[in-house]
Amino acid sequence: MWLEILLALVLGFVIYWFVSQDKEETLPLGDGWWGPGAMPEAQEDKTIRPFKVETSDEEISDLHQRIDRFRFTPPLKDSRFHYGFNSNYLKKIVSYWRNEFDWKKQVEILNRYPHFKTKIEGLDIHFIHVKPPQPPSGRTPKPLMMVHGWPGSFYEFYKIIPLLTDPKNHGLSDEHVFEVICPSIPGYGFSEASSKKGFNSVATARIFYKLMLRLGFQEFYIQGGDWGSLICTNMAQLVPSHVKGLHLNMALVIRNFHTLTLFLGRRFGGLFGYTERDMELLYPVKEKIFYSLMRESGYMHIQCTKPDTVGCALNDSPVGLAAYILEKFSTWTNSEFRDLEDGGLERKFSLDSLLTNIMLYWTTGSIVSSQRFYKENLGQGFTQKHERMKVYVPTGFAAFPCELIHVPQKWLKFKYPKLISYSYMARGGHFAAFEEPELMAQDIRKFVGQVEQQ
């Protein structure tokens, strides 16, 4: 009898545990004030103001003077990109930047889309808002927020925006037409940095949700990679009733169980739901994951602990800033680019595009505040509530083959139970919208079509 009671209790506990794990929790919305001083008693100004990117001869002259003082360090023989950014190729970058790159022309390109700013929780938030040039007759464009990461910027989305807002003129169906909002994360580019400690992804998600409400959107789609994936995930956890769909090209979902299945999966992959493509992208684990993490995570340890120290150097040296950031655009685009003398940078990007992204950090002096985001989110370890919570909004995932770590569908399904679209992308890496705008636009459109049919 006692054994039966004990078994019943154990069974009841197990059932309760599984049921409680699937409880649709939401993060508390809360509020915040990240501007200087205490929150004022007066209501915050909610005006949305037009903004224009500008430059000056003085700004460009200062940049050139600093570039001219660059001290060259010869690379080791045959080191390619295995020791970091190859300084022989850096000389080419610096020469182009100094003598051919036209920042004023790039400023004109940046201003092709409408820019705005608005105060939220004490911070000046920058964003671009692009509406369809010819809205579909009788249909309302679908609002889509796209969120960048580090060391990227809102500029990553410049090539994908026309494919989403004006698909018909790019040979695509106009079944799904979007108006696209691309904000700058506070502390990045033209968005004001927090003056207080603790500004993390959840605070950012709340601010971006308030931005969408301020623009008049009660329901909207969101998309992100890198930090954008976490911020968009947090938005779905904060206000799931407002998020029609969540599309990601990166996800932070690895847990102890996933680590265990990795070591057993080479032999028993089918038992853990791994497909043949998963096996190709995950194994050998030593090379695809262990060595990859060891090689590519040094910057993270610095920025999670002492971001201001290295930030001082990067904020003072444009060439140092370029080497630090562009090295990521090499190896994060394709790990095999480490074997090339030029890091493969010009295989996916133009020097103008790469240097424009660098200039958004340089001219705004935002490298230090952008790096602090790592300390605020990861510096205390993986202990925040949102990391343990599931996401109960329709979710789509684009698995680009050269992403830093491949995430199988089975892993995603645990965190995102309403995963309705999972795509193995033909090519591309970490900066997906920047590298492969056509592929990314195609997958977003496919996902939204599935959501709309539900």
Backbone angles phi, psi at 58, to 5 degrees: -65, -40
Greatest CA span in the chain, whole angstroms? Answer: 88
Q: What tokens does 265 get? A: 């999966």
Tokens found for residue 60:
């460009």
Spatial contact of 415 and 442, defined as CB atoms under 8 Å apart: no
The residue among 426, 294, 361, 343 whose CA lies nearest residue 148 is 361
Residue 445: other Cβ atoms inside 10 A: 18
Torsion of CA 365, 309, 205, 148, to 10 degrees: 60
What's residue 2's pLDDT? 41
Per DSSP, 81 falls in state: T
pLDDT band with cut points at 50, 70 and 90 for residue 194: very high
Look up 361 and say whether it is catalytic. Answer: no
Of 154, 152, 325, 140, the C-alpha closest to 219 is: 140
Which 3 state secondary structure label does DSSP give 247? Answer: strand
User: Residues near 54 by Cβ (< 8 Å), separated by ≥ 6?
Assistant: 107
> Is the overall model pTM greater than 0.85, yes or no?
yes
CA neighbor of 411 nearest in space, from 291, 289, 242, 235: 289
Highest mean pLDDT out of 33-47, 187-201, 282-296: 187-201
Pick the CATH number of 48-54+108-291+392-453 from 1.10.1510.10, 3.40.50.1820, 1.10.3720.10, 3.50.50.60: 3.40.50.1820
Query: What are the tens digits of pLDDT across the range 386-418?
Result: 888 999 999 999 999 999 999 999 999 999 999
Instruction: Compute φ and ψ for 22, nearest 5 degrees.
Output: -95, 10
Catalytic residue among 89, 361, 374, 416: 374
pLDDT band at residue 213 under the 50/70/90 scheme: very high
How do beta strands 243-248 and 115-120 pair?
unpaired
The set of residues, in sequence order, having a beta carbon less than 8 Å from that of 280 and lying 6+ positions away, is none
pLDDT tens digit string along 412-439? 999 999 999 999 999 999 999 999 999 9
The C-alpha atoms of residue 230 and residue 378 are separated, in whole angstroms, by 12
Domain boundaries, the chain: 48-54+108-291+392-453, 57-105+299-376
Backbone torsions φ then ψ of 405, nearest 5 degrees: -135, 130
- Give all strands of the β-sheet with 142-147 in edge-to-edge order: 48-51, 115-120, 123-130, 178-183, 142-147, 220-224, 243-248, 395-399, 419-424
List the catalytic residue out of 247, 386, 406, 430: 430
pLDDT at 361: 98
Confidence bin at 223 (pLDDT 50/70/90)? very high
Supply angle C-alpha 39, 361, 150, rounded to 5.
Answer: 80
pLDDT per position as a tens digit, 119-167:
999 999 999 999 999 888 888 999 999 999 999 999 999 999 999 999 9
Catalytic annotation present for 374: yes
Cβ proximity of 126 and 201 under 8 Å? no
Catalytic residue among 148, 155, 188, 226: 226
Res 357 pLDDT > 90: yes
Does residue 339 have an active-site annotation?
no
Residue 93 has pLDDT above 50, yes or no: yes
3-state secondary structure of 326: helix
